[in-house]
Chain A
Amino acid sequence: MREVSVYEPSKEISQIDKFPYKTLFTSSDESGLWGVKNNTCKQVYFDTVNSYAGKDHLHIKWNASKCNYIGIGLKWANYKVKNLSPIIPSAAIELRVRVDSGFLSKIPMFFILEDYAGKQCRANVNYLNLEGGKIDAEWRRIRIPLQAFNYEKRKVNMSNIKELRLEFQRKGDLHIDNIIIVPHEHNYKKTKNKFVKVLETYPIRIGAGKEYWWGINTKHSSSPKFGDSFKYESVVFDLEVAKKDQWNTFGFSPYKWMHTDVSSIYTTSAITFKIKANELPKLQTILFAYKGEKRRLQITLNENNFVHKENGIHEAVLPLKSLMGHNEFRWDSLKEIRFKVLEGSDFEIGDFQLIEFRGNPKKPNEWRGI
């Protein structure tokens, strides 16, 4: 006889056990469906031969070449509200599928959960949960983990689910049976985009690392080349007038070709750099973003951008707010800073930084903060 403590808790019932609506489809008379009317793009049959469960199963043939949408809906417990939230971590939609002949390793079929606000999230068949890695004449098991639905992105209320839809694309012929909710362990994570760098604290060195620069390749063009007059990266231009094919443009990523996010500081920021030259070159500066409608901002620098320093070293200041169209630019996804030499041939440019700037964007050289 087992010794039992007076206070031993009762065995806990799992969330999936508590979930009452585990059956979505077993046969046509027990499960409500819509969208089963035949048309030129879709033929739906309830075949009674070789079913997996119940008296019949779903057989659908489709060809989407002339239709925008092909789908069928499962009323799932006659449209009762389904609260899937507690079972998301531990459950999957399971179904059996087969074809009449041959085999497929991919099928253009999507699963859509719709909530009572009409919002939809979707998932597709993943090779990892396709039994045997193929669909053939045997009934094969497919599982769609609830976590695989993009409900967070689509803001679907998983506590208030109305129905499941099956959507079909391109062309196919498939037998489907026994759509049920089953316990399922889903051991995969969703990570965050690691290719984002937020820059917030001045002064910020930009373009650190020669591997993030382009336009400098002495195998193909003797100028420009990397210089060494400044503390950080610099480029030396020695454009001989006779050599027409010399490159006159270079660029770099602010930070390792990541999405550089300066959105919180751009209104009070300026790009600063040094130029070593007897005569200032005429330069065009172009900024690129990875995203957005407006992906390019450009400006030709003028004398107001330069503060004369000693020994032929000039310091340039380019307030980001002085760039026309800066309001429409995605400053959270800065991609590249590029320079084109419009005039001038013998100079070195480098020491690029982002500094705090709170002066008049049109007259940066008059700001005392520099």
Chain B
Amino acid sequence: MERNLNLFFCLIFLLTCSITAQSQVNKVEVIKNSYGNFELQRNGKPYYIKGAGAKDHFDLLVKSGANSIRIWSTNNKELLDSAHKHNLTVTLGLHVRPERSGMDYDDEYAVKGQIEYLKNEVLKYKDHPALLVWGIGNEVDLRYSNFKVWETIEILAKFIKEVDPNHPTMTVIAGIDPSKAYYIKKYCPSVDILGLNVYGSIENAGANLRKYNWNKPYIVSEWGVNGPFEAKKTSWKAKVEPPNGLKAEQRLRRYQELIEKDKELCLGSYCFLWGQKQESTATWHGMFLSNGNPTEAVDVMQYCWTGEWPQSRAPSIKNISLENTGWRKDHTLAPSTQATLKIEYLKYNNEEIIVEYVLFPEAFSEKIGGDIQKSPDPINLEIVEQSNNELIFKSPEEKGAYRIFAFVKNKKNQSSVANIPFLVE
């Protein structure tokens, strides 16, 4: 009986410990360290963000050396719980509707309704143990004309200061310019950190912040390769996407030379996107393919975060050409004619490489920012002959804009991809 009682009390003790650990609020703050640099501290210890915009693949994320994820809205509590289980922190987005989605910041009713809703969301999540930073709004400045949106950001940031002293506030903008720096400084004094979504513009972001007299810390809240909105277009307005191998080199350089080096103001970064999404193509920003296979961008991020390459590396496509013309140029084919696609890739330490080719109709979209785009379905590809570096195929009979993809992978499904848009006329 006494033994059973002891066992019972032990169980109660363990259960209590477990609940306490689950519900422990972690104190996060921005300080200036002894070098005069801004520093994020979590429970009194320096916390440099090695993060990714991510909703899944958390095991691989942790294995690759990351410590944090960024999510864009509060509509999925399971993500926070899952991140916490993986010992990842979360920059949690409060979805402030951008003007481009139809939100009218001169409409008191719409503004107040949104604020009250988001205040309620703050109360729901403020004590979550995974919470690191509040991300108030994402790219509300993109194609906006009513600067009143900054009043909403400030009301929310101020509210957070009142109810949650444990987590800093950040607002995330689509690149920096002097007017945005002015408005956020003037209208949002309760914002602690500036979040910068910067793709091509990451090259000058740090210098520009200083030129625009920004004097608080920043987080590179989205970064990666140059976006479709910055890409060269063909004469039929298809975006030209560089092969994965070149994109991987760009990622590595940007992390090492731009993000890591800014010790004074930068608190860390979230690479985009640890997952997959359609943005002009299905492979532009995603570090995974739509079937879940990781690309070489994952290997690059491991190297960035840990200084070591994974033992097994994805192959890397460095070049792709159609009819002996490189991927940067326009490509036009006649209907139902044979054409040759060539790829050049590095195998690294892989003995066997599997190559696949897939044809899609071009996915034109006028959407901007993170707005949702629909993926096209693949169409029949008539293969005449195929080797590991070359594909001879028959162009579609129907005139129109197409895009052909080459996928290479090793036995572990680590992949690289490249594509070429072409016009049949």
Measured CB to CB, the residues of A under 8 A from B are 105-106, 122, 126-129, 133, 145, 147-148, 150, 186, 188-195, 211-212, 214-215, 217, 219-220, 247, 249, 251, 253, 257-259, 290-291, 333, 335-336
Which of these binds chain A: B48-56, B109-117, B269-277? B109-117
Q: Are A336 and B178 within 8 A (Cβ)?
A: yes
User: Are A193 and B179 CB-contacts (below 8 A) given A126-B110, A148-B109?
Assistant: no
Q: Are B120 and A335 within 8 A (Cβ)?
A: no
User: Are A215 and B211 CB-contacts (below 8 A) given A128-B112, A194-B148, A251-B178?
Assistant: yes
Q: Are A217 and B148 within 8 A (Cβ)?
A: no
B258 cross-chain contacts in A, Cβ below 8 A: none
Name which of B116, B120, B121, B178 has the most chain A CB atoms within 10 A of its CB: B178
- Bound: A212/B329 CA distance, A: 43
Q: Are A214 and B117 within 8 A (Cβ)?
A: no
B183 cross-chain contacts in A, Cβ below 8 A: 257
- Bound: A340/B116 CA distance, A: 45
Partner of A217, one of B102, B112, B211: B211
Which 10 residue pairs of A and B lie closest in terms of their CB atoms, listed nearest first?
A: A126-B113, A188-B109, A127-B117, A214-B178, A188-B108, A128-B113, A257-B179, A195-B147, A127-B113, A191-B106
A220 cross-chain contacts in B, Cβ below 8 A: 210-211
- List 15 additional contacts besides A190-B104, A194-B148, A214-B212; criterion CB under 8 Å: A126-B113, A127-B113, A127-B114, A133-B120, A147-B109, A188-B107, A188-B109, A195-B146, A211-B182, A215-B211, A217-B211, A217-B213, A258-B147, A259-B145, A336-B179
Which chain B residues (66-110) contact chain A, with CB distance < 8 Å? 75, 102, 104, 106-110
- Bound: A258/B182 CA distance, A: 11
A190 cross-chain contacts in B, Cβ below 8 A: 104, 106-108
B181 cross-chain contacts in A, Cβ below 8 A: 214
Min C-beta distance of B406 to chain A, whole Å? 27
Interface of chain A, main secondary structure: loop
Q: Are A128 and B116 within 8 A (Cβ)?
A: yes
Name which of B75, B108, B117 has the most chain A CB atoms within 10 A of its CB: B117
Q: Are B106 and A193 within 8 A (Cβ)?
A: yes
Min C-beta distance of A43 to chain B, whole Å? 21
Q: Are B145 and A126 within 8 A (Cβ)?
A: no
**Closest chain A residue to B180, Cβ basis:** A257
A-B contact pairs, 6 of them (CB 8 A): A106-B117, A190-B104, A190-B106, A214-B213, A217-B210, A258-B147
- Bound: A215/B106 CA distance, A: 32
Measured CB to CB, the residues of B under 8 A from A are 75, 102, 104, 106-110, 112-114, 116-117, 120-121, 145-148, 178-179, 181-183, 186, 210-213
- Bound: A129/B114 CA distance, A: 11
B120 cross-chain contacts in A, Cβ below 8 A: 105, 127, 133
**Closest chain A residue to B143, Cβ basis:** A291
Q: Are A247 and B211 within 8 A (Cβ)?
A: yes
Q: Are B109 and A192 within 8 A (Cβ)?
A: no
- Bound: A335/B120 CA distance, A: 36
Min C-beta distance of A109 to chain B, whole Å? 14
- Bound: A195/B148 CA distance, A: 8
Q: Are A128 and B109 within 8 A (Cβ)?
A: yes
- Bound: A106/B124 CA distance, A: 14
- Bound: A327/B205 CA distance, A: 32
B186 cross-chain contacts in A, Cβ below 8 A: 211
- Bound: A131/B114 CA distance, A: 15
B121 cross-chain contacts in A, Cβ below 8 A: 105
Min C-beta distance of A106 to chain B, whole Å? 7
- Bound: A258/B104 CA distance, A: 18
- Bound: A251/B75 CA distance, A: 41
Min C-beta distance of A197 to chain B, whole Å? 12
- Bound: A129/B113 CA distance, A: 8
Q: Are A186 and B109 within 8 A (Cβ)?
A: yes
Q: Are B109 and A290 within 8 A (Cβ)?
A: no
- Bound: A122/B182 CA distance, A: 34
- Bound: A291/B179 CA distance, A: 13
